[in-house]
Chains A and B, each alone.
Chain A
């Protein structure tokens, strides 16, 4: 974006970037230092040896993947509808959705619990997946609607003139062109689902459904607190998320939009 023609400019840009990033690195360094304190790598092996760790990891993956898939499909459809299609009372529906964002999680526990029992969902993956998805969807729609709005109408009209209906327009136009924002939505939803602690705690009963966010609990008690292992478990928990972020990076590059208009 910046034009960097001279060497001084290049050094300056690098310097500015580095200075801005230092405050971010500082707490991370403190944290990693803490994770290696005491027993060093032993902390990490202790975390991995928590009984059932592999199972927790798997459960977290299952829940996260289902939530991301559900949110992606529902969001893309809804954002497309809000941005490009005709809906009576459209803004009212939109604000209805937005209101869902305002609820603190803790307020939802009792009503969600009652619903789960009634629908027989308590102690199943769905008891966690559905509320997580429901909470993420408005946020994702808010972001995606913007993005789709800025896609030129002519594209869709051209497609319609060619005989394509909304559905084909969706598959062949919206999905490819929204890659960058879709990547953002996937990442944020993944993080929210992976890190969620309260819902698995309250809605999952059997030990073989527990998620990885419950692992630090093994190291905290009323009268004890094993910081080193907690930090080690935080590092281990973070790794899949960072890996996902890195692999989605290429989707943030300019997509096919340049070619489509021409």
Chain B
């Protein structure tokens, strides 16, 4: 039995395809709008929460369980989406209206990207904390998450950077003190290298961590310059920045940065090396505080592949005054993440309850604080160190508590002022200087051009 195809029939499949394509193309991406949606009940319902942090589902389930003690009828589903896939996954989800009700929001580029999908939470903050709510939360959490006058998310906790962490055992073994100047740093490295121990390790292939190091160097050269340049009040070709890049290069030339640093990534490469005792120093932020505890460090050591892990005490140490100008290199930070509510959410009231609890209630913030990953947004809440088992309380308790207290007063922003293109340019400048492909002056000039091309206006 032969199938007969007439010429007309042959054209039909093509026209069907064309019609289908046209019909579907009417859907070309819809943006978000603040259309009123069915808010639902405030004490019951299902809330879908997407986040890259908490970085393991168990922690998130812990938060949710604590939340359910107060609000047992609201079911929260947490979906962990790795930060590297975040943008790719979230954009279509939010645009479709079938995405999450609550989603993590990070200051900086993500706020710009997703602000049109986030409900303004100023009213919610006032409702939760009163009209003077701004004085009750860490200021850094507000500015980073505000865009176009809209508070896109309520900060849950903040992270700060601009400090080093040292392996206290290694330093004790070789009778070293934490370096306070560049010369002392070089010296410490020489001692350690003589004894075949690594000195400082960094995943210099990655933008975020290189940016932290550069910002700390800049804060030592000229406090406040980095923020000024980020805002466009000064240019990237400023002599202070050129000097910063010069010191950055010195870190590589003098052997402080480990060989091959440019090809290394902070997680898991550098982190595992530090935790397994191969290096004495690493530059990490306040999120590293959790590894001061026995439980977390043992787990991290096991994750790094060490059998019968023996935890060692880590200590936070101020970034050395590498410029030698007598300035303390100040810390800086951003909200680690806030919780945003989708404009298209169908369970808005329940979502608000959840966000309020996590970000503004004493109970929720205490649970967050005790993880020692984020420092809580609510200024009245501090981590409960009585509940926490440090590896070596005698050596660690004071420095760690000091760190937490100092950090709470930090106002200098970390990433929130820089858009993605400028961040890309910073990485290019850092690697080209480190590999010797460009001098600090040339790199600064290229970076300035990149920033201008990205739309930053300079005075």
Which of B53, B82, B92, B268 meets A113, CB within 8 Å?
B92
Q: Which of A34, A40, A202, A225 meets B88, CB within 8 Å? A: A202
Residue A207 interfacial (CB < 8 Å): yes
Cβ–Cβ < 8 Å partners of A166 in chain B:
2-3
What residues on B are CB-neighbors of A225 within 8 Å? Answer: 267-268, 271-272, 303
Decide if A5 is an interface residue (CB 8 Å cutoff).
no
Q: Mark A40-57, 1 if CB is under 8 A from B, else 0.
A: 100000000001000000
Assess A220 versus B82: contact at CB under 8 Å? Given A38-B302, A202-B88.
yes
Q: Are A34 and B98 in contact (CB under 8 A)?
A: no
Q: Which of B2, B48, B267 contacts A224 (CB 8 A)?
A: B267
Selecting from B21-29, B32-40, B124-132, the interface stretch reads B21-29
B171 interfacial by beta-carbon distance below 8 Å: no
- Interface status of A122 (Cβ within 8 A of chain B): yes
CB neighbours of A223 from chain B (8 A): 55, 267, 287-288, 373
Q: Does more than half of chain A's interface fall in helix, strand or loop, or is it mixed?
A: helix
Q: How far is the CA of A219 from the CA of B58 in the complex (A)?
A: 11
> Whole-angstrom distance from the CB of A46 to the nearest CB of chain B?
10
Residue from A37, A40, A106, A114 within 8 A of B29 (CB atoms) = A114
Q: A222 interface residue, CB < 8 Å from B?
A: yes
One of A37, A113, A167, A222 near B55 (C-beta < 8 A): A222
**B-facing mask of A75-97, CB < 8 A → 1, else 0?**
00000000000001000000000
Query: What does the 1/0 interface line of A120-160 toward B look like (CB < 8 Å)?
Result: 00110000000000000000000000000000000000000
Q: Does A196 contact B (CB under 8 A)?
A: no
B-chain residues with CB within 8 Å of residue A88 when the two chains form the complex: 10
A222 to B288, CA, bound (A): 12
B49 shortest CB reach to chain A, Å: 12
Contacts A123-B98, A220-B55, A221-B56 given: A38-B271 contact, CB under 8 Å? Answer: no
- When C-beta atoms are compared, the residue in chain B nearest to A202 turns out to be B89
Is B113 part of the binding interface, using a Cβ–Cβ cutoff of 8 Å?
A: no
On whether the beta carbons of B302 and A39 are closer than 8 Å, the reply is yes
Interface residue stretch chosen among A19-27, A182-190, A226-234, A250-258? A226-234
Q: Which residue of A lies closest to B29 (CB)?
A: A110
Q: Which of A39, A40, A227 contacts B272 (CB 8 A)?
A: A227
A38 neighbours in B (Cβ, 8 Å): 301-307, 309
Task: Say whether B95 faces chain A, with CB atoms less than 8 Å apart.
Answer: yes
- Cβ of B1: which chain A residues have Cβ within 8 Å of it? 165, 167
Closest A residue to B100 by CB, please name it: A205
Q: Which of A109, A118, A222 is the one whose CB lies under 8 Å from B92? A: A109
Which residues of the other chain, B, contact A122 by a CB distance below 8 angstroms? 96, 98
Whether the pair B88, A226 counts as a contact (CB closer than 8 A) is no
Question: Once bound together, how far apart are the Cα atoms of A109 and B48, in whole Å?
Answer: 21
Q: Which of B1-32 contact A (CB under 8 A)?
A: 1-3, 10, 23-24, 27-29
Contact, CB under 8 Å: B89 / A201:
yes
Contacting residues, chain A, for B307 (C-beta < 8 A)? 37-40
Residues of A contacting B303 with CB < 8 Å?
A: 38, 219, 224-229
- A9 located at the interface, meaning its Cβ lies under 8 Å from any Cβ of chain B in the complex: no
- B3, B24, B29, B88: the one contacting A118 at CB < 8 Å is B24
Q: A202-B88, A225-B268 are in contact. Are A117 and B302 (CB under 8 A)?
A: no
Answer whether residue B93 sits at the interface, using C-beta atoms and an 8 A cutoff. Answer: yes
| Of B27, B53, B271, B309, most A-chain CB atoms within 10 Å | B27
User: Quick check: B305 and A165 within 8 Å, CB to CB?
Assistant: no
Total residues of chain A contacting the partner, CB 8 A: 38
Specify the chain A residue showing the minimal Cβ separation from B336.
A222
For B384, what are the chain A residues with a Cβ–Cβ distance below 8 Å?
none
- Is A207 touching B77 in the complex (CB atoms < 8 A)? yes
Let me know if A227 and B80 touch, CB within 8 A. no
Among B52-84, those with CB < 8 Å from A are 52-57, 77, 79-83
Chain B: which residue is nearest A231 at the CB level?
Answer: B305
A38 to B305, CA, bound (A): 4
CA distance A115 to B82 in the complex (A): 25
Residue in B56, B95, B305 whose beta carbon sits within 8 Å of that of A37 in the complex = B305
- Give the interface centre of B2, B81, B92, B267 by most chain A CB atoms within 10 Å: B92
Residues from chain B with a CB closer than 8 A to the CB of A218 are 56-57, 80
What chain A residues lie within 8 Å of B28 (beta carbons)?
114
Q: B366: shortest Cβ distance to chain A, in Å? A: 21
Is A14's CB within 8 Å of the partner chain B? no
Minimal beta-carbon separation of B84 from chain A (angstroms): 9
> Is A198 an interface residue, CB under 8 A from the partner?
yes
Residues of the A chain whose Cβ atoms lie less than 8 Å from the Cβ of B88? 106, 109, 198, 201-202
Give CA–CA (A130, B55) in the complex, Å: 31
At the interface, yes or no: B251 with Cβ under 8 Å from chain A? no
- Asked if A217 is an interface residue, CB under 8 A from chain B, the answer is yes
CB distance from A89 to the nearest CB of B (A): 9
Docked-complex contact A201 and B85, CB < 8 angstroms? yes
Residue of A nearest to B267 (CB): A225
Bound Cα distance from A164 to B96, whole angstroms: 51
Cβ of B420 under 8 Å from chain A: no
Residue of B nearest to A40 (CB): B307
Which of A40, A117, A201, A224 is most buried by chain B, counting CB atoms within 10 A of its CB?
A224
Q: Which residues of B does A touch, CB under 8 Å?
A: 1-3, 10, 23-24, 27-29, 48, 52-57, 77, 79-83, 85, 88-89, 91-93, 95-96, 98, 267-268, 271-272, 287-288, 300-307, 309, 373
A-B contact pairs, 25 of them (CB 8 A): A37-B306, A38-B303, A109-B88, A109-B92, A110-B29, A113-B93, A113-B95, A114-B29, A114-B96, A115-B24, A118-B24, A165-B1, A166-B3, A167-B1, A201-B81, A201-B88, A202-B89, A207-B77, A219-B56, A221-B52, A221-B54, A222-B52, A223-B287, A224-B267, A224-B300
Pairs of residues from A and B, 3 with the lowest C-beta to C-beta distance, nearest first? A221-B55, A37-B305, A113-B92
Given contacts A201-B89, A205-B79, 20 further A-B contacts (CB under 8 A): A37-B304, A38-B303, A110-B29, A110-B92, A113-B95, A114-B92, A165-B2, A202-B89, A202-B92, A218-B56, A218-B80, A221-B82, A223-B55, A224-B300, A226-B303, A227-B272, A227-B303, A227-B304, A227-B305, A228-B304
